[in-house]
Structure 1
């Protein structure tokens, strides 16, 4: 079996154009729905470039908020953009560097699929939150609801059947409500709910959608980076033919994430 190359997460600017601009919209909706009071201690696990951490700092009036990630490059971008009192550190989600029950809320945005193993990360989140505290996260619905990625992988599979093995909808079972719920209950959390969040993804034209796939950041761009120029051109042409472009070239799609939440008993 062909060995899949590791997903690359190193260039913050490239990630922002590829996914960050949409993840920031989801972060705002996610936090608005949590409805948590001010003055609390927050932890953001797998914070990446800091979209969710910054949103917590800006809108939730936290007493403290810490963002953790494995990518030093992403954390540099997060530090530069996030308002006070946010602070950041390099850490492993499977071994959080905190004692038990020190946070009021532990959150994670678009990271669960990339935390290995996710059950250990969920257990650690439950460990460091206080009794009664909130543990909540969201992931893209790669299987069906992340429209521009769904179009990308459908196009890729039509010109290269082997691409289906790299499809995030196939690789990541946590992109569905059932597995998310099971992950949370398996970590001992109670009052678990899973709800959709949908945001618009409007591209100025095909180049605005296609060029971020050339960045090498994440699974789909990582796949594109493996292609020879001719194969890349075939994929580009096929993708352009199946996208719903408006007369002015605008491409209007939608992206759905699944948000899961629960409390430590």
Structure 2
């Protein structure tokens, strides 16, 4: 990842992220946890917890003994902590240096974060260190290459207006977001019973403004690109994007979002 690409990857304002991607993150978290079907009374750690979508969902539906959320962004951790349930806490820390003893947790999860880490393999090995023998390590990432309709439409519009935008497109930057690559990452970390599966959720927007406005908040690669673009370019991208959307008679736009999930157990 180049320095220019990193400048567009801003992750600091939790409320802005919630409007941009957090609402869909919660839908994916619910489906992901439903398929994991973990036993109650377990100790969880959520690595790269962001604004807490996965940690909050685990606390609400999995009857855990405790949930710890870890993220590098102070702003995201502050947003997550505001809605923390009893037994759930959030701390600022790096995914490759978790603030926990080895073999201290039953479940380590990560939602939509691995591809943004400089060394994802190190983060997976650190999650393996954190769980007990037989413990579960599981994660999911957006399918940027083909399963995120709103981003595919956005980048097609951006590249039509500005060919240089292609360098920031997540589908080109994040080869980790594919089932084969994820499975290999888990196997290479020493996990067993490794499996991958898709998680698909609908993304329904009330209209073009509901879809477009979160792109102006500056959180993530696409909003970061727009924040750095001249106003005239932003306007042209909006027009090109609107022309690509399947708008219903009531003005709403229904798309889909697909993530790839992976899981395995520590021997």
Correspondence list, 1:101-112, <5 A: 101-112=103-114
TM score, norm. by length of structure 2: 0.97
CA deviation string 1:180-237 (max 9, x = no partner): 1111111111111010000000000000000100000000000011110111111110
Name segments (4+ residues, structure 1) moved above 3 Å. none
TM score, norm. by length of structure 1: 0.98
Alignment match, 1:47 = 49
Which consecutive unaligned segments of at least 5 residues does structure 2 have?
none
TM-fit CA distance, 1:2: 7.8
Alpha-carbon distance in structure 1 between the residues aligned to 2:3 and 2:103:
43
CA deviation string 1:89-127 (max 9, x = no partner): 111001112221111000000000112200100010011
Matched pairs, number: 265
Question: Match of 1:30, SS?
Answer: helix
Correspondence list, 1:6-17, <5 A: 6-17=8-19
Alignment match, 1:82 = 84
Alpha-carbon distance in structure 1 between the residues aligned to 2:219 and 2:233:
19
Correspondence list, 1:1-265, <5 A: 3-4=4-5, 5-265=7-267
Alpha-carbon distance in structure 2 between the residues aligned to 1:82 and 1:224:
32
Question: Match of 1:135, SS?
Answer: strand
Alpha-carbon distance in structure 2 between the residues aligned to 1:2 and 1:92:
20
Contact kept? 2:195, 2:263, Cα under 8 Å: yes
Contact kept? 1:94, 1:116, Cα under 8 Å: no
Contact kept? 2:103, 2:129, Cα under 8 Å: yes
Contact kept? 2:8, 2:225, Cα under 8 Å: no
Question: Match of 2:38, SS?
Answer: coil
CA deviation string 1:9-43 (max 9, x = no partner): 11111100100000000000111111111000100
